[in-house]
Amino acid sequence: MKIIGVIPARYASSRFPGKPLVDIAGKSMIQRVYEQVKACAALSEVIVATDDLRIKEHVASFGGKVAMTSAAHPSGTDRCAEVMQDFPDYDVVINIQGDEPFINPEQISLLCSLFEEADTDIGTLVKRIHNYEELFNENSPKVVFTTNKQALYFSRQTIPFQRGVAKEQWLDKQAYYKHIGIYGYRRAILKGITQLEASPFEQAESLEQLRWIENGYRVKVAETTLETVAVDTPEDLAQIMKTYFSI
């Protein structure tokens, strides 16, 4: 089985324009992501997918592989699908967020391992929640899944709800999991999901993975104990500089 890693990277961002090119202690965001992904032995190839010439030229400057994709794509999933057209001999694509400069290669390997199971259409990661701030944070989607690790639903709300239990006791009574936003797709599945119309649950929650579940695709999850740090805003970057580099 051949697996390719694709890192979608857009210059335009409402909360942080030019984010892929921002400097993080001497290296750009996208270079740091690329180098972390390249360290994953489970991947046979790694490509940055962008619609911006500035990003393309920058990735080429540090020796990275890059593909230009349409500016009309609504999501990184669609960008991955376009890249896969040029790699017909690959079986699985891993979609890695371009704003996680310290993503651990072990997490990518864990996601890749899900595709050793024939019934995995789409794979993603989850991490157990241990604090109440995260439990009730609507910007941190939660996921519930079956005993064989098939996702049932993703939500910005805290699920499952515990009737008759005080919220400050929920973590004592139930295991909760947050979604880690990295995906893997089998080649044929990726083509299929990009042709789907936006679904009611997706529109309500603003979570594209709900479109897949609503249309009957199986999303398998693997549990990681490793944390991920995403940079969505300049404030996030400032916190990273303080935490990782004491700046």
Note down pLDDT in tens along the chain; length 247 residues. Answer: 999 999 999 998 777 889 999 999 999 999 999 999 999 999 999 999 999 999 999 999 999 999 999 999 989 999 999 999 999 999 999 999 999 999 999 999 999 999 999 989 999 999 999 999 999 999 899 999 999 999 999 999 999 999 999 999 999 999 999 999 999 999 999 999 999 999 999 999 999 999 999 999 999 999 999 988 888 888 988 888 888 887 6
pTM here? 0.94
Three-point CA angle 237, 241, 242, nearest 5°: 115
Q: 8 with 226: CB under 8 angstroms?
A: no
Q: How far is CA 143 from the centre of its chain?
A: 14
Please report, in angstroms and rounded to a whole number, the separation of the first and last CA atoms in the chain: 43
